[in-house]
Amino acid sequence: MLRTEPLTADAFAPFGDVLEAAGDPDKIINQGLCGRYHDRARLDFGPGGRAGISVFKAELRSLPLELAMVERHPEGSQAFLPLDREPFLVITAPDEGGQPGIPRTFLTAPGQGVNFLRNTWHGVLTPLAGNGLFGVIDRIGDTPNLQEFWFEQPYRVTSV
């Protein structure tokens, strides 16, 4: 069984970046009317790739949840930015010899998004409330960029 934990930059650092407008902005722009939280993701689109912005509409899920599969993108990073302020579940796993290790599960706070680093095992997009709409920034290219791993025994994900 896996229990969710709050999404924090330190806890998530091995897997990617937490995207949020927390603390003081790095710059004040637009005639003093806008705070810019500058360059918050380690975007990586690999050789022969380019950045693409897509909109995903995912079905809402609920906890407890059965986690049967994770995936990774060997050619580039992938960022998820919710288009509402509702929480979503973020699932990651360390790489252990080309396969995922024991997964970790994070619950976002309102206004948080994530950027998964290249080749990071992660669960599928899992909104728990809201409209299920996400802006996604990831690699567009001709080479294969998806690997899936199915667990022999699914994990059960529960809330904190």
pLDDT tens sequence across 22-49: 999 999 999 999 999 999 999 999 999 9
CB 16 within 8 A of CB 43: no
Would you say residue 160 has pLDDT above 80?
no
Would you say residue 137 has pLDDT above 80?
yes
pLDDT band at 94 (very low <50, low <70, confident <90, very high): very high
Q: Which residue is listed with tokens 């973020």?
A: 90
Sort residue 9 into left (φ over 0), alpha (ψ -120 to 50) or beta. Answer: alpha
Would you say residue 17 has pLDDT above 90?
yes
Q: So what's the pLDDT on residue 142?
A: 93
Question: Residue 135 — φ and ψ, nearest 5°?
Answer: -85, 130
Distance between terminal CA atoms of the chain? Answer: 11
For range 119-126, the mean pLDDT: 98
For range 104-129, the mean pLDDT: 97
Q: So what's the pLDDT on residue 99?
A: 97
The whole-model pTM stands at 0.94
Q: So what's the pLDDT on residue 1?
A: 92
Task: Compute the residue count for the chain.
Answer: 160
